[in-house]
Chain A
Amino acid sequence: MSILNYDVVVIGGGPAGITAAIETASAGARMLLIDSGNALGGHFYKQLPAQLAGKFDALHEAGQQELRAKLDALSRNSVEIWCSTQVWGIFHGAEATFGNGKDNADDAFTLYTENPDHPQRVVQTRALILAPGVYDRPLPFPGWTIPGIITPGGTDFIVKTQGIVPGARVVVAGTGPLQMAAVTTLVDAGAEIVAFLDTCAAGDEWWRLPTALWGQWSRLIEGATFLRSLLVHRVPFLFRHAIFRALGTPETGVTGAIIGQVDAEGKPIRGTEKTLDVDTICVAYGFAPSIELTLHLGCAHDYSPRLCAHFPRHDDRMQTDVPGVFVAGDVTGVGGKGLAGLQGQVAGISALERVGRLSPESANARRAQLRPSVEHESRFGAMLWDRFRIRPGLLDLIEDDTVICRCEGITAAQIKAGVADGAHDFRGAKIRTRVGMGVCQGRYCYSNVAMLLARAHQCSVPEIGLPHIRPPVVPIQIKNLFVTS
């Protein structure tokens, strides 16, 4: 088996990963950038298929111009780019034994990857920058698995990459900044927005807007575009509201939605229910970071009560508690494109320092230069998540037969039974109920199961423990897990 060596490997080709790759490659480091999507850009700089190009707003076009400049910089600096590539295992030092006595150096990482054209490429590096991003966070409510329920990120994806309008009459709900973008996208695509619901109140954290938004001009333009969409199309705007129940069956798909008011903690206020005539529900509650790789690597994670999710712990050099593993971008706490890029730069600088291409003094100096901008951008992220924080009272919507783990079809009642049977942490629930044992290995249900267990035991979510992620981190075909000799 041939092993390719790189000074630095970046995983994730969104704003953070691309910036990190440019930063390290422009200093002369031998660089590899890996992304699981079929084109670089991540969620933010989504690249459109040719037949859809030019169909979307000016903001999207501006983003694409920015991306083109970055792609030019990548190729100018001869960054090796692998798209459609999954990293299924990262082994430290001696764990990577190849069976021929040739072990990994103690401080190196060996990455095993899969790609349709290159099913088994193996890479070694001493510095890893992980920028895997986030995904839309579901919170279960009765009927949430009926076809016709999509997330804002999913809406953006299918409208912009496939040109499909997900429904004719849509309610947009949940909480988070992507909801606004979804409204604009859906309206442009010709859908009717029956209502826009948010679990936060109009006035939440408004006094922090001026300082947080100072300098965030593109964001203000985005906000204005969104408001114009709402006003022009007379979309009812309902704060402190949530979807209580999706109506329909697996056969009919969504035939309606029962919505209602929630209190400041997200608890549903019974008696306030109304039925909306919709065929599509676009809903998510913020984001959950993609922490599979950092969990697999054994990095420490911290819990954010605002996002109700875990993030890899890092220092101000963007290094995790595993030396040589750096993180950047939304996986560190969702701060948007600006912060992601800055973190990518910082992580790049620190990776260069680690591989000896930058002295500690110059690395410190360059990080210090970036610090004020990092702080400025972080302020915006903090304001955003104080406003759009996930309200745990929403769990009250869950009924006994509400599915919590979609892969294995495990309901809230089964989790309750597992608790009665002695499940005290995530693994205990897994052993007793099969929750998190399916194809996604708990990626989508972990945070919700952990909140339910913490509630049952009246303890904090960190006490519930994190899932233990073993390779393959993503499902991989048997034939691609060994080398034919």
Chain B
Amino acid sequence: MTHPIQDLPSSADVVVVGGGVVGTSIAYFCSRAGVRVCLLERDDIGAGTTSAAAAAALLQTKTSATKLAFANESLALLDQLHDEFDRSFEFEHTGSLLAACSETEWQVVQDVAATLQKLGLAVQMVDGAQARALMPVLGPTVLGASFSPADAQVNPLELVMAYARAARRLGAQLCIGVQVTGIEKQGDRIVAVMTNKGKIRTGTVVNAAGVWASRVAQMVGLEMPVAPLKGELLITQAMLRRMRGTLISAKYLLSKASTTATADATSPKRTVGITLVQVARGNFLVGSTREPAGYDSRNTYAGISELCRLLADITPSLANVHVIRAYAGLRPLTPDQMPIIGRAPGLPGFIAATGHGGDGLAFSAITGKIVAEIFSGTVDSDKLKPFAWERFDAN
């Protein structure tokens, strides 16, 4: 329907483009710092990648020092917010189990665990029997696993709504159904954002448009190397509690590592690995495929069947559970699978906060906090280096 947007503000300190989990977190942290924020969302809050996310905020998948530190900081913030916000977003440190089903996978799990331990993450190696004791849904194919108790699960829709409500309470204006049509510059300054509902004067635009971020960047003549990577997921009927924590198959990690960021829609290559989590309501959520398919987010028979085949292999006791829906979303992926966060070179009023890949939930809080610090000039610039636009310039 045509959205009843009554009051597009005439001006704002910061205009955030994109109302997913990253954009709403930015709106919240900026508002908390006293900044006048206007968030523009073309469709609806959380309607894009956020609503097609798995329900986990994982540490075991963050195998670089930067990513792990970033995720750790973000999860600590989520702990605080979960206490502060009046409604739960089902955030809980239920842990994760990275499970191997073959000797090759077991080697991978051991290597990953060694790396993570070196980086300071408390992970514990367990054999097949111990893994099944921790997670009784696992079947006999699991040879061993690494267990990380600090990994968390979260309800993505409740999280994005929690950020949005909190931001709104602090005075942010969240405008739904408003599409950005252009960005007005004067020299190296931004002066206004044009939308289908009118113009907003502002000196700062935050590009949190996720997989559509490159289109927003083009409005100011910038190239942004963010491409969509499709993920298909499944959701089952709700069941009594049968597992706690997130299961990650080693295949998932391998799939994630083998992803080429040069997303080329003409030569789709699908990789699949299982993540499994039972959400608060009792449904099992099964992720996910990884496939460069442009902006096509339809489900395919191959995607659905491959997920089910791998799931039945690793958790045979769930083979009789009914799938009630498949869904699919697009992850915003950069060539080095690291987000882009920071001011644009040559256009300091344009701040990027995108390219979070499949880590948007885990990284959302810290991204919001950092963008607020960038705006106020209090950010530690060393910390921003791995996320800078400039890292892609060398090529």
Contact = CB atoms under 8 A, between A and B. Distances in A.
B308 interface: yes
A431 B320 contact: no
A432 B1 CA distance: 17
B2 interface: yes
Interface string B153-164: 000010001001
B1 A478 contact: no
Contacts of B47: 427-428, 431
Q: Which of B165, B270, B302 has the most CB of A within 10 A?
A: B302
B322 A475 contact: yes
A100 to B, nearest CB: 9
Contacts of A475: 237, 322-324
Interface string B31-46: 0000000000000111
A113 to B, nearest CB: 12
Identify which of B270, B299, B301, B304 gathers the most chain A CB atoms within 10 Å of its CB. B301
Interface stretch (A5-13, A19-27, A463-471): A463-471
Interface in A433-448: 434, 438-439, 441
Contacts of A406: none
Interface in A449-475: 457, 459, 463-465, 470-472, 475
Given A471-B299, A478-B312, A459 B1 contact: yes
Contacts of A75: none
Given A470-B325, A472-B324, A478 B44 contact: no
Given A465-B1, A482-B312, A98 B301 contact: yes
Given A431-B44, A441-B325, A478 B311 contact: yes
Contact of B308 (A424, A464, A465, A481): A481
A470 B327 contact: yes
Counting chain A CB atoms within 10 Å of each CB, the highest count among B1, B45, B165, B319 belongs to B1
Interface in A385-416: 408
Contacts of A428: 44, 47
Interface-central residue, A112, A422, A428, A484, by most chain B CB under 10 Å:
A422
B238 interface: yes
Interface string B14-52: 000000000000000000000000000000111100010
Interface residues of A, number: 39
A439 B302 contact: no
Nearest to B41: A422
Contacts of A439: 237-238, 322, 324
B242 interface: no
- The interface centre, meaning the residue of A431, A459, A464 with most chain B CB atoms within 10 A of its CB, is A431
Contacts of B238: 438-439
Contacts of B184: none
A439 B324 CA distance: 6
Interface string B163-183: 011000000001011000000
B326 A471 contact: yes
A99 B300 CA distance: 10
B321 A478 contact: yes
Interface in B308-334: 308-309, 311-312, 318-328
Contacts of A438: 238, 324
A201 interface: no
Given A97-B300, A97-B302, A482-B305, A477 B321 contact: yes
Interface string B217-248: 00000000000000000001110000000000
B377 interface: no
Nearest to A423: B44
B309 A482 contact: yes
A476 interface: yes
B20 to A, nearest CB: 12
A470 B157 contact: no
B349 to A, nearest CB: 28
Contact of A472 (B157, B270, B323): B323
A421 interface: yes
A475 B238 CA distance: 12
Nearest to B298: A95
Interface of B: 1-4, 44-47, 51, 157, 161, 164-165, 174, 176-177, 236-238, 270, 281, 298-302, 304-306, 308-309, 311-312, 318-328
29 contacts: A95-B300, A95-B301, A96-B300, A97-B300, A97-B301, A97-B302, A421-B161, A422-B44, A422-B176, A424-B3, A424-B177, A425-B1, A431-B46, A432-B161, A438-B238, A439-B322, A439-B324, A470-B326, A475-B237, A475-B322, A475-B324, A477-B322, A478-B320, A479-B308, A481-B308, A481-B323, A482-B312, A483-B305, A483-B309
Given A463-B1, A477-B321, 18 more contacts: A91-B300, A99-B270, A99-B305, A421-B161, A424-B44, A424-B176, A427-B47, A439-B238, A439-B322, A439-B324, A465-B1, A470-B325, A472-B323, A477-B323, A478-B318, A478-B319, A478-B322, A478-B323
The 4 A-B pairs at the shortest CB distance, nearest first, are namely A463-B1, A475-B322, A482-B309, A479-B319
